[in-house]
Amino acid sequence: MPASPAVTASAAAAAAAASAPLALKSNGLAAQLARQGAHWIEQAAASTRHSIVVLLDTASVRDWWRGEIQNPQERARLASILLAIFGTLLPAIVIEWIARRLLRRSRVAIAERREQREAELARAQDDEADTQAQADANAEAAQAAQAAGVPAAQSGDVAQVSTAGVPAAAARTSDTAAAPAAVVVPAAGSPTAAGVEQHIKQARSQRHAAAHWTLLQRLPLAALQLLLRLLPLVVFVAAASALMSVLAEDGTPQDRALSTLIDTYVLCRAIVIACGFFLQPDAPALRLLRMRDRWAIVIQRWVVWIVSAIGGGAAFIEIALALGLSESAHTALVKLVALAGHVLLSLMILQCRKPVAEVIRSRARDSSNPVRLVGEGFVDLWTGVAIFVVMALWFVWALDVQNGYRTLLHLGGISVAVLIGARVVSIIVFGALSRLFHAEEDEGRSLVHQRAYRYYPLVRSVVYLVITLATVMILLQVWHVDVWQFFAVGTIGHRLASALVTIFVAAVIALLVWEAANVSVERRLARWTESGDLLRAARLRTLLPMLRSVLFAVIALVVVLTGLSELGVNTAPLLASASIFGVALGFGSQKLVQDFITGMFLLMENAMQVGDWVTLAGVSGTVEYLSIRTVRLRGGDGSLYTVPFSSVSTVNNTNRGLGNAAVKVSIVYGADLDLAIDTLKEIGASLREDAQFKDGILSDFAYWGVDAVDGASLTLSGQVQCRDSARWGVQREFNRRIFERFNERGIAIANPQRSVLAPENGQLPVAQLNARGEPQDDGADDERDADAHHGVRGASGTRGARDANEQDSSGNRGSGAKPN
């Protein structure tokens, strides 16, 4: 009988499959992953079926309850348990309520005291803000009036502020419309935009500092209120324990039921009190979480509902278990109670989605661009993510994963305690940091405080990172993840942690050295500026960029080499390469290095300053610009000289406190020497009395004597000691008065281009000198004029006589009259 077509096709397919190569290897990675995935899916399906069966096992609960009701003995035991519960818990709860009422006045007084303190601070801040706003308004009005060309006195009423906080000028009309003010938007990357961004960051840091300091100030009174709330709970425990010892014997169902109920009540009350410690719904001035009053009340109410539902259900289940409830029924009831708690928590998340979204959005707005993008994207997703996590936790237990929900509840309770402790520690640490860095008045800050305040955001971020890492590590340890083993001695974690700590310490020390140097320099600059020593301050500011660069290079080199060494990088080749490069650079830039070194020492020694008249490297001029490598001089003819410091060996500076006005005058033979000396002294005295020059003269005219005697004149010399800024003015005025006074008194000033030859006995045999020191002659006036312009040449006389010649500067000889 022939085979059917279907059988033939199946056989052909089987043969083709046998002959074809396998798509997956028998023990390949893909095959292993497929088998493992199938195993996990099978386990999850089995757990789900078992959990659903247990969850729907209401028959065992119904049978247990029917047995408790129908059996007289069970009814009697249930009645005795209920009697013990009411006889123990009801009086204890009443006593606790009385204790709460007695302590309520103290709690209210603490809250009112803190509210009064914060009200006073708020009023002080409002007054300060109003004053600052008034000052800003006045400044803006003055600027607007100046820009519009209106006198400030006429525009001052713009700055008036009404009691409602609205400018009074806004309600006033004017005949002429004011020109609209131009709104200037700083461009990105401009100095104005950078200043605005820096101002925003500083304001944000100040807000954070003020908030943390406020939380730290609230913490002691909040802790005192926590103690007052815990005292009634302690009273309840003491009363319940005393009544339980009377109404229930050890080991009985009554004792087990009462112990379970007391533990559950204490745990639920502790959770509510701990939540109230942070939320403080009835005392906003003591709240340790920054949120509005409405949401604090809502969250506290939800916490009470969730704790009451879970606590009441757990208490009922434990009593039923003590009365003989089956294990499967107990598991089903526990899962139902847990599901109710997770559902209530999800509903609370839904109600609080808006305020949490606002917090996430504000935090993201204050962060950097990547964090901002992630935060803005998470705003709309956080509700679904949170609800998924909450419900996933219930499914974790419902599917019998990781030893059930009891372990999860235990670990969750410890985790909540760890988070609460982390929050308290963060409040204390951040409050202390804000107190350390924050100052009430900017004017009252010292220089160290001002520079340290710049690092407040960085320090706060580092402390926040440390607290977060410590909290995460403790939580991992609680959840049985042994993170400390990773940092055991001899492990890579220990080496990494040691390297990071060393690098961090090196960076902190480098930062301290850097800031100490900057503070020292700025204090010196401030001291010199306040004392009026502006020149030294300017010189130090000239050197400051180079000194900072050198210090930064040294510090950065030390820190980088320390970090590389700690990370296991061999720094010897790097140092050798740097040394070779440094030697080559030194040989190739000797003059440049010499310029820098010489310039640095010249500036440190205050050899010259801008505005000084100096002579160096063979050129003279006024110092116009000083750098670390060159100096620019402006010569007397307007030329600009750029002189590298390497070519400077000597500096002649005429502006260093003293400038002596040199006086030198030559008179002719025959002039009255004593009269000339007296005239010079009179001129010096008159200059000291002159209001225009007396402030620049330091001493009287000092006559030194006859400085030189030559064939044409007698040279008198002296000086007037002056300030360096008054030297040339005094010297020029002295010379002008010499010309006037000598002309008035007939004292002839010698012509440096005329020579007079006298005989051996010192007498002129023929020519006589007149009052002006000129030879007298019987010739006409034209001959004397010729003598004055072309010189005089005398005739030869006896053996001891010599000719009296006069030569002009060009060397031409003129003929004059011979002496008689």
Q: How does DSSP assign 346-396, residue by residue?
A: HHHHHHTHHHHHHHHHHHHHTS-HHHHHHHHHHTTTHHHHHHHHHHHHHHH
Closest CA relative to residue 777, chosen from 763, 761, 794: 794
Phi, psi of 721 (to 5 degrees): -75, 120
pLDDT, position 221 = 84
Q: How far apart are the first and last CA of the chain?
A: 182
Q: Kindly report the pTM of this predicted structure.
A: 0.49
Integer-rounded Cα radius of gyration of the chain:
51
Hey, what CATH topology would domain 593-653 get?
A: SH3 type barrels. (2.30.30)
State the number of CA atoms in the 13 A half-sphere of 575 facing the CB.
11
Report CA torsion sign: 701, 705, 708, 710. positive
Residue-averaged pLDDT of the chain? 72
pLDDT, position 53 = 63
Non-local CB neighbours of 803 within 8 Å, separated by 6+ positions? 757, 793, 794, 795, 796
564-571, Cβ contacts within 8 angstroms, sequence gap of 24 or more: 566/498, 566/499, 566/502, 566/503, 567/499
Give the distance from CA 208 to its chain's centroid.
Answer: 14
**pLDDT one-digit tens code per residue, 564-609:** 877 777 777 777 777 777 777 666 667 777 777 788 778 777 788 7
Q: Is 720 exposed, middle or buried (0-12, 13-18, 19+ CB in 10 A)?
A: buried
pLDDT, position 805 = 36
**Is 805 within 8 Å of 782 (Cβ atoms)?**
no
Strands (E), 415-528: none
**pLDDT one-digit tens code per residue, 116-136:** 887 777 777 666 666 666 666
Cα–Cα dist 799/794, whole Å: 14
Quickly state the pLDDT bin for 633 (edges 50, 70, 90).
Answer: very high
Decide the pairing of beta strands 619-626 and 714-723: unpaired
pLDDT, position 735 = 92
**Which residue did the predictor score with more confidence, 190 or 492?**
492
**Nearest-10 crossing angle of helices 404-437, 382-398:** 140
**pLDDT one-digit tens code per residue, 508-548:** 898 889 888 888 888 888 888 888 777 777 777 777 777 88
pLDDT, position 532 = 77
Lowest mean pLDDT among 23-27, 44-48, 538-542, 697-701: 23-27
Mean pLDDT of 658-678: 87
Phi, psi of 722 (to 5 degrees): -130, 175
pLDDT, position 186 = 45
CATH class held by domain 488-588: mainly alpha
CATH code reported for the domain at 658-744: 3.30.70.100
Q: Which residues of 276-304 are buried (b: 16+ CB within 10 A; e: fewer)?
A: bbbbbbbbbbbbbeebeeebbebbbebbe
Lowest mean pLDDT among 252-266, 292-306, 569-583: 569-583
pLDDT, position 621 = 92
pLDDT, position 158 = 34
Cα–Cα dist 35/549, whole Å: 64
- 3-state class of 820 per DSSP? coil
pLDDT, position 629 = 81
pLDDT, position 198 = 58
Cα–Cα dist 380/664, whole Å: 95
Q: Within 10 Å of residue 341's Cβ, how many Cβ atoms?
A: 20
Phi, psi of 625 (to 5 degrees): -155, 140
Cα–Cα dist 469/492, whole Å: 18
- CA distance to 38, 67, 394, 395, 588, per residue, from 41 (Å): 5, 40, 19, 15, 74
Percent of the chain with pLDDT over 90: 5
Non-local CB neighbours of 485 within 8 Å, separated by 6+ positions? 491
**Which residue did the predictor score with more confidence, 163 or 192?**
192
The 3-class SS string of 509-561 reads HHHHHHHHHHHHHHHHHHHHHHCCCHHHHHHHHHHHHHHHHHHHHHHHHHHHH
Quickly state the pLDDT bin for 800 (edges 50, 70, 90).
Answer: very low
Non-local CB neighbours of 713 within 8 Å, separated by 6+ positions? 666, 667, 668, 669, 750, 752
For residue 796, is pLDDT > 80?
Answer: no
